[in-house]
Structure 1
Amino acid sequence: ACREIEQSLQDLTGASLEEGMGATMSEDEDEGPPMIMEAAPMDMSSNGHDMMGFGPLVPTDTERSLMERVRQELKIELKQGFKSRIGDVREEILRKRRAGKLPGDTTTILKQWWQEHAKWPYPTEDDKAKLVEETGLQLKQINNWFINQRKRNWHNNSQTSTLKSKRKRCS
């Protein structure tokens, strides 16, 4: 079982366990009674217990460099694996930042139509098709612009007409 773990670690990191840990079990050590290996000096916990599950484990410099190398390799692999998705998300964020205001020349065309049809600001399908050609916008953008414009315009008109009617009552 230990050899399988060692092999998996070597396949993953490209380093043998000897390089990373300093000591490992070898085939020679399988024979005979288990031996206690010397390890790096152990930290003692606040109550004086050793590393037999009671105190913190401090990695050696070699272990730290191996862990850092593995971290960097994983980071590179993840970046490569998710590169296209990261690009898609970045593009979507930039697109949403750009969204919001239409170019001035297109709003001029839409406002002109609005003023010409102020009594009934609902463009027909033919009107919308013509506006799509003139502005280069999508039909959905045209529809949304008119919806928003009616809300803005009618909201302002309803406030001013309400004020006028209140003034008339007070006079």
Structure 2
Amino acid sequence: MTHYVLLLCSFEEQLQQHVRVHAMEAVMACWELEQTLQSLTGASPGEGTGATMSDDEDNPVDSESNMFDGNDVSDGMGFGMLTEGERSLVERVRQELKHELKQGYREKLVDIREEILRKRRAGKLPGDTASTLKAWWQAHAKWPYPTEEDKARLVQETGLQLKQINNWFINQRKRN
């Protein structure tokens, strides 16, 4: 479980870093497009089809530094009112980020999942294996301490490791 928590903390840090990087790249790209559009058309940011990302801020550095301050959370990310194109760009960046992070953490999450499932299964022997050990136990109820030869034979019959056989007998003696 500790590994899982550490992995999630690492995942959160990387996710925050990716969001910062991709969001800043998207803002800078939009700002550059606006500047190019302005130089080509001569139109000011308020003219045309609607508001742009630079309506409030003409300085891209100020815009980037305020992007994560959390004051404007109308779309959940602090970007203010977005146009349809800007929303689709943000959504595409989110999807690409999600895919990239999934790929990066998939193997680690699978390993952790397998470890958790293995720990849940621990302690349960297959029925035929347990019945073989119980049969030996009942046949030797007066002295339930198998010899090394008995243990070797039980290892062959059950497919368990010697340590598992020893632990089963230790636990069985404690139970009875």
For Structure 1 versus Structure 2, the TM-score category normalised by the shorter chain is 0.5 to 0.7
Which blocks of at least 5 consecutive residues in structure 2 are unaligned?
1-20, 57-65, 73-78
Larger radius of gyration: 1
Taking a change above 3 Å as real, the CA distance of residues 12 and 127 of structure 1, as seen in their structure-2 partners, is farther
Q: TM-score, normalised by structure 1?
A: 0.57
- After superposition, the CA RMSD in angstroms is 3.7
Q: Does 1:147 align with 2:159?
A: no
Correspondence 1:35-114 to 2 at 5 A: 37-38=45-46, 39-40=51-52, 56=72, 58-61=80-83, 62-114=85-137
Deviation per CA, 1:107-135, whole angstroms, max 9, x where unpaired?
12111211222222222333212111011
TM-score by length of 2: 0.55
Aligned residues: 126
Is this contact kept in 1: 2:22–2:93, CA < 8 A?
no
When residues 149 and 9 of structure 1 are mapped into structure 2, their CA distance, relative to the original with a 3 A threshold, is closer
Alignment of 1:4-43 (within 5 A): 17-18=29-30, 24-25=34-35, 37-38=45-46, 39-40=51-52
Could you list the runs of 5+ residues in structure 1 that have no partner in the other structure? 1-7, 30-35, 43-50, 154-171
